[in-house]
Amino acid sequence: MSTTIDGKWAFARYQSIRRRLPRGVFTGSAMPLPDLEPIMSRFDVFVFDSFGVLNVGEDVIPDAIERIRALRKIGKKVVVLTNAAATPLSKVEDKYAKLGFDFTADEIVSSRHVLTDALCETDPKMLWDVIAPPFAAVDTLPCKARHFDATASDDADGIIFLSSNGWQAADQACLLERLTVRPRPLWIGNPDLVAPWGDSYSREPGSYAHDIWEETGIQPVFFGKPYANAFETVRNRFLGVPAERFLMLGDTLHTDILGGAAAGMKTGLVSGFGVLRDMDIDDCIQRSSIVPDYVMPGI
């Protein structure tokens, strides 16, 4: 029997792994707002998730481009913090430019940035098998890397899971068998469980990683939201700005809101386009005990 991947599935799965996620301190009251307009003057840095906040798949969310321009006009700093790790760092600006945004490279932090920084600290002799589509350019990673191949010999020292694009059940079974026979580091470049794509959802690397953790006992290393490494990377780009002067805006309670709160940032849940778009938001907040400072349908 096949599993329907939707917002309800994602919420339930996030709840089941909650003990593995960071702990946040929540001081807000989920104040309802129509959009960002009433609170634009309260913060210095606005941190935007991408999927479900700025875009859904290849479609830009209405008014998102105009809101970014309005924030810049009054002197606010903006940054995108995304768990999309497949795009090479040299092309990340182009990705958003094609959508109509004018973000510069220093205004974008992807989980690939965070993972890349960590790779620079590893043994350069390590060979990594990288799970990612061809366009991910794994040869640009600062390590000995090659594409994961279920039919090739298994002599890699570690596994990097960047993207689940094209990932099949047979591939997952092969990876699980290899890690069972010879445990080794498993690094996850996208901790998300799902991502919204129009009327459907894609299953993301974080989902497969938690399955492996449960079946093998191997604890993956995660890079990206909700983990501290992602938010530290953002904070380091705005040294001198107190954490409470950042507003993290995202569509997912267990990644954007939990991670932002754990980092000391204020948080805003964008409810109209992402993972929770068809769910009872108040019920989700109550059941998860993850309480954003603000809730708004769009930015």
Q: What is the pLDDT of residues 72-130, one digit of tens each?
A: 999 999 999 999 999 999 999 999 999 999 999 999 999 999 999 999 999 999 999 99
Same domain for 143 and 213, yes or no, is: yes
Domain boundary among 207, 222, 237: 222
Q: Is residue 89 part of a domain?
A: no
Q: CB–CB of 223/189 below 8 Å?
A: yes
Same domain for 216 and 231, yes or no, is: no
Task: Tell me how far the alpha carbon of residue 65 is from its chain's centroid.
Answer: 20
Domain boundary among 203, 222, 241: 222
Q: Is residue 16 part of a domain?
A: no
Same domain for 145 and 206, yes or no, is: yes
Q: CB–CB of 71/46 below 8 Å?
A: yes
Q: What is the pTM of this model?
A: 0.96
Q: CB–CB of 140/90 below 8 Å?
A: yes
Q: Give the count of domains, the chain.
A: 2
Q: Is residue 254 part of a domain?
A: yes
Taking 70 as the threshold, does the pLDDT of residue 1 lie above it? no
Would you place residue 2 in the very low, low, confident or very high pLDDT band (cuts 50, 70, 90)?
A: low
Q: Is residue 3 part of a domain?
A: no
Q: Is residue 108 part of a domain?
A: no
pLDDT in tens, 164-219: 999 999 999 999 999 999 999 999 999 999 988 877 889 999 999 999 999 999 99
Q: Is residue 197 part of a domain?
A: yes
Same domain for 193 and 233, yes or no, is: no
User: CA 9, CA 206: separation in Å to the nearest integer?
Assistant: 14
What's the whole-number mean pLDDT along residues 35-42? 98
Would you place residue 251 in the very low, low, confident or very high pLDDT band (cuts 50, 70, 90)?
A: very high
CATH number of the CATH domain containing 64: 3.40.50.1000
More confident site: 58 or 18 = 18
Compute the mean pLDDT over every residue in the chain, rounded to the nearest whole number: 95
Q: Rounded to the nearest 5 degrees, what angle is found at the Cα of 150, between the Cα atoms of 144 and 156?
A: 30
User: CA 60, CA 69: separation in Å to the nearest integer?
Assistant: 15
Residue with tokens 């990206």: 224
Residue 263: domain span: 21-83+225-296
Domain boundary among 222, 244, 268: 222
In the chain, % helix, strand, coil (3-state, to 5) comes to: 35, 20, 45
Question: What one-letter code names the amino acid at 54?
Answer: L
